[in-house]
Structure 1
């Protein structure tokens, strides 16, 4: 066990306490508590407008909360950013930006490259290896805007892999992708989990939750339920989260 692993022992990779966020006068999250488990895949699920994406952005410091605390391995997330990788929603990315696939992946190595951003042969090899892991090795020189939605999602996952993080936060990684891409992405995420990494993903397809994830966090502005899938993912918790009849 490495010194870092020893220091992390018993600490949550991402812990949220009393998080409240508002956009103007409109509350989005109210007093949310969440605790992730090391080496597990957690799905954040809830209806549209429940605050799922806002929760991730607040954890990353992109959105400033009104109150509450977020920590990573017992420290403020700002001190652990080199250990956290983030894959945003595809809709939030400017796909017209003129850059190649390989350059997008290299952006994930900015801490390795330093201020001068000097890219060496080993960096290109590492980026190519990450593309291979997501099945995009033959598209390295393609313009990112020329790819399909599923291919773009794979490239952004490759960029996250290049960061060599310990915690991966993904905002709807399966939205708008084909079945082959979804299978490829979940295989990579399961591989990360099996390697001891922690994965947290906003997810919308309730039918795949038991097959894809170990734990769930149900939210509708406030936390509704949290725990292992076989305990927390029940008709009762889904009813409380979504209201009305929910069929899985």
Structure 2
């Protein structure tokens, strides 16, 4: 049955009709295409993420979730597409964005302390050659406190556990005091306590009027953690409020045979309570 409140991309790969990027959207993407070799990793994708909300980017492995986020940021080149942040081309709005990359992509042997890493989030304020004032140092320590890592300020970053490292990178993002927080698999490989701590911080940001967009893989927690869902499998498959975009129908369309009907039913029954 056709559902008018649900946007599901056409199977022919054509972009859905574009409109003017809304000025209040923290991240609006139109016609984004990325290719590694001859096969597109992301094909003609549109997306509009709402302000003051927690948004999840969802899809199977190899669907282009991280590629979509990195291409929107400009970390990887895009063949086509327009990206706007609060109605402004992203190239002119980077000071409004904080990005937390996948933990696996970071060189943890880099000789920096936990406090050093968090203070990197303050470089926009002081400049690369500027000196950190006592106030800036106190701000960095406060951000570490918000993620439960203040006692590790002088520990070398490579000596921490995976969950602790992820908390430190979230603290660095908090130090930037951004309007839009983009996170690539923030819960991958972390313990339950760290996941709980991270989601509490992210929800606090949302409640303070910030916007959060995260690549997410655990389907059982989507409805408990997020307000908005964007489903992708190379093309845009669905997007909208979680209650209308994250359904058995859209999961079947997005995952195909990768998820059995019984698995999807379990996800729908779990409630995903936080």
Provide the residue aligned with 1:165 in structure 2: 178
Distance in 1 (alpha carbons) for counterparts of 2:249 and 2:217: 18
Provide the residue aligned with 1:4 in structure 2: none
Q: Which structure 1 residue ranges, 4+ long, deviate > 3 Å from structure 2? A: none
Provide the residue aligned with 1:104 in structure 2: 117
Number of paired residues?
240
TM-score by length of 2: 0.86
Provide the residue aligned with 1:218 in structure 2: 231
Distance in 2 (alpha carbons) for counterparts of 1:74 and 1:233: 26
| Secondary structure of the structure 1 residue equivalent to 2:249 | helix
Distance in 2 (alpha carbons) for counterparts of 1:173 and 1:85: 13
Distance in 1 (alpha carbons) for counterparts of 2:95 and 2:232: 27
1:18 CA displacement? 0.7
CA displacement 1:92-116 (0-9 Å, x = unmatched): 0000111000000000011111142
Provide the residue aligned with 1:233 in structure 2: 246
Distance in 1 (alpha carbons) for counterparts of 2:111 and 2:94: 27
Distance in 2 (alpha carbons) for counterparts of 1:47 and 1:74: 30
**Contact 2:23-2:88 at 8 Å conserved across structures:** no
1:117 CA displacement? 2.4
Distance in 1 (alpha carbons) for counterparts of 2:69 and 2:110: 24
Distance in 2 (alpha carbons) for counterparts of 1:58 and 1:137: 33
| Secondary structure of the structure 2 residue equivalent to 1:82 | helix
What do you get for the CA RMSD once the two structures are aligned?
1.0
Distance in 1 (alpha carbons) for counterparts of 2:91 and 2:121: 17
TM-score by length of 1: 0.95
Identify unmatched segments of 5+ residues in structure 1: 1-8
5 Å matches for 1:1-248?
Answer: 10-244=23-257, 245=260, 246-247=263-264, 248=267
Distance in 2 (alpha carbons) for counterparts of 1:74 and 1:208: 30
1:78 CA displacement? 1.1
Structure 1 stretch 56-65 or stretch 220-229: which is displaced more? 56-65
1:64 CA displacement? 1.4
**Contact 2:187-2:195 at 8 Å conserved across structures:** yes
